[in-house]
Amino acid sequence: MAKKNNYQNFLDNKRIIDIHSGFAPKQLNGHLFDWQRDITKWALQRGRACLFEDCGLGKTPQQLVWADNVRSKAGDVLILAPLAVSTQTVKEGKKFGVELEYSRNGEKSKTGITITNYEMLSHFSPEEFAGIVLDESSILKSYTGKIRNEIIESFAQTPYKLACTATPSPNDLMELGNHAEFVGAMSRSEMLSMFFVHDGGETQKWRLKGHAKDDFWKWVCSWAIMLRKPSDLGYDDGKFKLPPLNMHEIIVDVDHTNATETLFFMEAQTLQERQQARRYSIEERCKRAAEIANASDEPWLIWCDRNDESQMLNKLIKNSKEIKGSDSHEYKEKTMMGFSDGTVQRLVTKPSIAGFGMNWQHCSKVIFVGLSDSYEKFYQAVRRSWRFGQQKTVDCYIVTSAIEGAIVANIKRKEKQAQEMADGMVQNMHVYNSENIKGLQRSQTKYKPQTKIIIPDWMKGSTA
């Protein structure tokens, strides 16, 4: 028997193969909207998929219905979620008729669906679960490489996987590699080598190859859905329309000579300079934020970046509760749920603690008293209130000092980059996503050799 052409073998090994390892669900929850139902069906048939949907589009009910179907078909399912989001998800489960239990000690739920927090993963045995769900999966980027690798490696053999986030790659396409690796579509290093090229002399920066753009988005769409609103996939937006968002930039005056140790006024530029500027302007910024929040009796979300900011804000703002990183898990969860049900009127905390996953549409007043350089944390924190389901105009105040201008400018620059990237992702993924969701099929271009390759004698080697 003649050997298969070696070059054909090479091409076959390089081909991006889209394998559906899932199953067709017999029945989907009737509470889902039509587009939510179609996406959930696609994710179940795919078996391993990512839902990149904006805040408030219903990722929680979709993942619950997905988990319920996997439980019925294959076995137990584990959901990993940020703190307090777990309790919120259990409540959502009751609303949608999906039974699940919250566990932090490694004990599996008798219902077949267990939800826990990311930091509790070590208490569980991944091999005991047929399905895994990462809620707010972009949180992987907030962990060390060790924890990220632990999650990916622990569930490498899990047959059914689902990752859900609104920010898969806030302003860097390379970050899609984390999700591709989780669902087993391709390792991050393979993705970079196949679709990206080093940008100039900086080896840590990559850009998408021009000729690979179309193939890249086709590949992403084989395992992910990108959605900012239902009409992105050709559905009716209905009630999924965001209210206005009013951004108020408040700049307070400080003595710049003490803050910057310079005779003339200069904006902080480096990370060290920005941190120093924040330290010297804490009192002025916190007092101004307190004046704004104390002027009304509405619920307020007050976000900060430093412990001393948090402590001072809690003292100055009436009816406020503070959540610090050093607080117990029980206190954090109780306080966050208290803000959800209204027993806590004003919440002072950091985006890294409570900025992911919580549904706080009841609050339309937000203040940032100190910003980090993370656009994702800023975006996620804003979207706790400004999300689908919010009925009021959202007012967001950013209180900084005059010497901190570079911080706000940096966030605005990243916001512009993120918006351009999101527009590009939706535009490029729209056609492919629509075909996949409604048709559940994907075409691939087959290699058709047209010209016979003539190999020079010197390459053939000696025949003697």
Instruction: Tell how strand 131-135 and strand 77-81 pair up.
Output: parallel
Distance set, CA 320 to CA 233, 297, 342, 383 (Å): 42, 11, 12, 21
Is 385 within 8 Å of 394 (Cβ atoms)?
yes
More reliable by pLDDT, 225 or 372: 225
Sign of the CA dihedral running 387, 390, 395, 398:
negative
Torsion of CA 54, 56, 62, 63, to 10 degrees: 80
Distance set, CA 136 to CA 79, 168, 357, 458, 460 (Å): 11, 9, 6, 57, 55
Question: What would the mean pLDDT of 432-452 be, rounded to a whole number?
Answer: 62
Structure tokens at 134: 């990462």
Is 346 within 8 Å of 293 (Cβ atoms)?
yes
Within 10 angstroms of residue 154's Cβ, the number of other Cβ atoms is 17
Helix (H, G, I), strand (E, B) or coil at 232: helix
Q: Give the model confidence (pLDDT) of 114-156 as tens digits.
A: 999 998 999 999 999 999 999 999 876 655 577 788 898 999 9
* Confidence at residue 3, expressed as pLDDT on a 0 to 100 scale: 47
CATH homologous superfamily of 14-239: Tandem AAA-ATPase domain (3.40.50.10810)
- Give dist(CA 132, CA 150) in Å, integer: 14
- Give dist(CA 432, CA 314) in Å, integer: 49
Say yes or no to pLDDT of 462 above 80: no
The interaxial angle of helices 188-195 and 176-183, nearest 10 deg, is 120
Q: Give the model confidence (pLDDT) of 59-78 as tens digits.
A: 999 999 999 999 999 999 99
Rounded to two decimals, what is the model's pTM?
A: 0.82
Token pair 């605005």 is at which residue? 412
* Confidence at residue 444, expressed as pLDDT on a 0 to 100 scale: 44
Within 10 angstroms of residue 283's Cβ, the number of other Cβ atoms is 14
Say yes or no to pLDDT of 13 above 90: no
Q: What is the CA radius of gyration of the chain?
A: 25
What is 245-415's CATH topology?
Answer: Rossmann fold (3.40.50)
- Give dist(CA 152, CA 162) in Å, integer: 12
Say yes or no to pLDDT of 108 above 80: yes
Say yes or no to pLDDT of 229 above 60: yes
Q: Which amino acid, residue 430? A: H
Cβ partners under 8 Å of residue 131, min gap 6: 66, 67, 70, 71, 74, 75, 76, 77, 78, 158, 159, 160, 161, 162
Domain 14-239 shares a fold with domain 245-415: yes
Which of the residue ranges 86-90, 180-184, 297-301, 412-416 would you say has the lowest mean pLDDT? Answer: 412-416
More reliable by pLDDT, 350 or 199: 350
Which of the residue ranges 159-168, 178-187, 260-269, 331-340 would you say has the lowest mean pLDDT? Answer: 260-269
- For residue 257, the number of C-alpha atoms closer than 13 Å in the C-beta half-sphere is 2
- Give dist(CA 41, CA 26) in Å, integer: 10
Structure tokens at 422: 């999101």
Say yes or no to pLDDT of 441 above 50: no
DSSP characters for 383-411? TTTSSTT--S-EEEEEEEEGGGHHHHHHH
Confidence of residue 44 (pLDDT cuts 50, 70, 90): very high
Q: Give the model confidence (pLDDT) of 357-403 as tens digits.
A: 899 999 999 999 978 778 888 999 999 999 999 999 999 999 988 77
Q: Which amino acid, residue 408? A: V
- Closest by alpha carbon to 52, among 130, 44, 411, 43? 43
Helix (H, G, I), strand (E, B) or coil at 372: coil
Structure tokens at 453: 């390759």
- Closest by alpha carbon to 447, among 9, 19, 3, 11? 11
Burial of 17 (0-12, 13-18, 19+ CB in 10 A): exposed
Domain positions in the chain: 14-239, 245-415
* Confidence at residue 443, expressed as pLDDT on a 0 to 100 scale: 40
More reliable by pLDDT, 332 or 204: 332
169 phi, psi to nearest 5 deg = -155, 80
